[in-house]
Amino acid sequence: MSIQVTLISHSEYPLRSLYMAYRTCYSQLTPQQVCDRIESDRITHVQMRDFIEERLKTGHASPLEQVWFELGISGVSRAFSHQFVRHRVGISFEQQSQRYVTYKKGAFPYTVPKTVAKAGLSDEMEEHFKKVGELYEKMVEVGIPAEDARFLLPNATNTNFKITVNLQSLLHICDLRLCTRAQWEFRKVVALMRAEVVKVVPEIGHYLQPKCGEYRLGYCDESYEDWQGCPIGRVRPHKQVLLQVYDSYRKGEIQPLRDEDWAAIEERA
């Protein structure tokens, strides 16, 4: 079963929720008056978008908590789910139980990573899982509860989620999990979550980026070695490089423009 991510529901009008949250802080108008102006088109969609864009350049992040998304996520491994549920703030999870769900005939769904297939070991892995499934079934048949029979099951076993996440938390999750340092499955799930949000609110969705994205930090704060090995490193500076530039500037070591530079600028032959 392949990974599926579906946006089930979201704040009724995410842009309005976010605009109202910010506007309430910076306006003499009451939130009700702001809402009326939006309803009567005195405040347009474009004005809301532009105002939000300016606010997002600041560190005022709490209004982002007022926008939420509900998603269904299926066909993901328990290797992924162990990592996913480590996020503690602004996200609520419900996950398929291995206590209350018994896999019929020991046929548990699972994920085989591409690297295993590429190494020509997927048949062996699946053969192993078949044996695990047979023993699981045997245990269930003799009355061992599913909550104990599951001790056999591998990290590859698939699971499903229904989650609700607010925009602030989703931005944080994208910061970390769209980074090329994150595990491939997590990156894939979060990229699909992002795509679902972009479909309904592109104005907000495009802020969902890895932390080095132009709308986030704009630079890489991972180790220098990781940055060197990153395929996006070519277009994102590392923090060390930025600090070196700052240090050179502070010490007056920035190279002055030379005659040949001026020649290039002025297109002198």
Ligand X SMILES: Cc1cc2nc3c(=O)[nH]c(=O)nc-3n(C[C@H](O)[C@H](O)[C@H](O)COP(=O)(O)OP(=O)(O)OC[C@H]3O[C@@H](n4cnc5c(N)ncnc54)[C@H](O)[C@@H]3O)c2cc1C
The catalytically annotated residue of 23, 150, 177, 236 is: 177
HSE-up of residue 57 (Cα within 13 Å, Cβ side): 5
Is 234 a binding residue for ligand X by CB under 6 A? The answer is no
CB 177 within 8 A of CB 190: yes
- Structure-token pair, residue 82: 């162990």
Q: Are residues 165 and 90 in contact, defined by beta-carbon separation less than 8 angstroms?
A: yes
Helices (H) and strands (E) in the chain, counts: 13, 4
Q: Contacts with ligand X: how many residues (CB under 6 A)? A: 9
Binding of ligand X by 225 (CB under 6 A): no
Question: By CB under 6 A, is residue 188 in contact with ligand X?
Answer: no
Min dist CB 124 to ligand X, Å, is 27
- Using rule CB under 6 A, residue 140 touches ligand X: no
Binding mask 84-123 for ligand X (x = CB under 6 A): --xxxx----------------------------------
Phi, psi of 189 (to 5 degrees): -60, -45
As measured in angstroms, the least distance from the Cβ of 83 to ligand X is 6
Decide: 35 and 219 in contact? Cβ < 8 Å.
Answer: no
Active site annotation includes 216: no
Instruction: Examine residue 250 and tell whether it contacts ligand X (CB under 6 A).
Output: no
59 is a site residue for ligand X (CB under 6 A): no
Cβ proximity to ligand X: between 172 and 238 the closer is 172
Rounded Cα distance, 219 and 241, in Å: 10
Structure tokens at 75: 């066909």
Q: Please give the residue ranges that form the binding site for ligand X (CB under 6 A).
A: 86-89, 169, 172, 176, 181-182
